[in-house]
Structure 1
Amino acid sequence: MNRLKGKLAFITGASSGIGRAIAERYAEQGANLIITSRREEKLLEVKGDLENKYGVEVNILLQDVSNPEDVRTGIDSLPENLKKIDILVNNAGLAVGMTKIHESDPASFDRVMDTNVKGLLYVSRAVIPLMLENNIPGHIVNIGSTAGNAAYAGGGVYCASKSAVKTLTDGMRIDLIDTPLRVTNIQPGMVETNFSVIRLGNKEKADSVYKGIEALTADDVADTVIYATNLPQNVQISEITLMPNHQATGTNIYKEVK
Structure 2
Amino acid sequence: MRQAIVAANWKMNGSKAQVAELLSGFKSGIQNKAAQVVVFSPAVFLADVQAQLQGSTIAWGGQNAHTADSGAYTGETSLGMLKEFGCTYVLVGHSERRTLFGEDDALVAAKVKAALDAGVTPMLCIGETLEQREAGVTGDVCRRQLQAVLDVVGVDGFRQLVVAYEPVWAIGTGKTASPQQAQDVHAELREFLAKADANMAEKIQILYGGSVKAASAAELFAMPDIDGGLVGGASLLVEEFVGICNAAA
TM norm. shorter chain > 0.5: no
Higher relative contact order (CA 8 A, sep 6+): 2
The structure having more radius of gyration, on CA atoms, is: 1
**Length-normalised TM-score, structure 1:** 0.37
Question: TM-score, length-normalised on structure 2?
Answer: 0.38
